[in-house]
Structure 1
């Protein structure tokens, strides 16, 4: 007697998001990074001997190496990192996601540590002692978040990995937000050290708050799905 294997009905197809929606977050993050990437590119042109297109900065002229490292690493980190937030990319191109993640760990650490180096060794930066202290905290926190995110994925804790990397990315791309906060803040608070410190710091605060909102929202969505 021949036994036939019963045919199981196919699971119902869940309506997915439109194809274009998967790229909205990466596109928004790339757009946020346009101003600092363009400004950094113009600064690189000056450093290598091109025309002066931005206000002169004697600190950069005296020691351009950390600025070059910071600009190049920040551009890679901002643009490549934006596509790590696409669930479609993570599902379909897992190898790319892992490979890009390794690059981003290195680039992000260069961004954080070069920023810390410039804060500690470039004299007379605008913003005074308040902004100096904020930059030290932000650079150190970004580096710590990247290390914690890397160790989390090594032990297969995906939720913790994602949370720490979101925090690091939010701090790393705050220059785009600061282009807005400085424009509004300095018009209201002035361009003295206190006004500059508050305006620049607001960019990091906004990005950090958005990052925490995204992390908590993802945690609630995961709890509902479970």
Structure 2
């Protein structure tokens, strides 16, 4: 029952957040004017004619990864539709790679400067390593290890959610400057992702 409640909650959060991100970035503010307004004092000028399309690909790939990963944690899909589970798993891997590539391009323009750029590059690296580890273990038929590494990989789909949640609380709740709040959000999200994955592995599965 605990696993079922966790899965339903996770799936619900994923769907709601995907709808929210889609609305905010493709309907409400497709030029990302609000987000770009916080990118002050950067050493590199943001070329919006390139940055915006890259960001859109980044968002779409991140949403695909979030949804594909959520679907593949379903026991029903795993037991009854193995071929779909496998294909959907590869879709997840491709989506993660696309997120990493686009994030790598955008990292030098990160709000908050070099400190946050390094954090995003770190996220890109460990997320890819965790995803590759999950693929390697399933190729070796080590299902338990595959599942653990998929959990570690999948929580990073929620990085952006945690960043904006923490930065919102820090800026609106505590009254910190936006850039400071965003930096706290970036590093806080990394810590939450790692701790959350290990908690799920040890306490739920």
Fold-level match, TM-score > 0.5?
A: yes
Alignment partners' CA distance in 2, 1:213 and 1:145: 16
C-alpha contact (below 8 Å) 1:174/1:203 kept by paired residues = yes
Q: Which residue of 2 aligns with 1:169?
A: 154
Deviation, structure 1 residue 57: 2.7
Residues 1:194 and 1:54: Cα distance change in structure 2 (over 3 Å) = closer
Indicate the structure (1 or 2) with the bigger Cα radius of gyration: 1
* Structure-2 change in CA distance of 1:195 and 1:45 (3 Å): closer
Higher percent of residues as helix? 2
After superposition, the C-alpha distances for 1:64-104 in whole angstroms (9 at most, x for unaligned) are: 23212211111111122112222233222222211211111
Query: In the alignment, what sits opposite 1:180?
Result: 165
Number of aligned residues: 194
Q: How high is the TM-score relative to the length of structure 1?
A: 0.73
CA contact (8 A) 1:190 1:196 kept: no
Instruction: Rate the CA distance shift 1:66–1:37 in 2: closer, same or farther, 3 A.
Output: farther
The runs of 5 or more residues in structure 1 that have no matched partner are: 1-16, 222-226
Q: Is the contact made by 2:119 and 2:186 (CA closer than 8 Å) also made in structure 1? A: no
Question: Does 2:76 correspond to 1:91?
Answer: no
> Which TM-score applies when normalising by structure 2?
0.80
Equivalence for 2:25 = 43
Structure 1 residues 198 and 88: CA distance shift in structure 2, 3 A: same
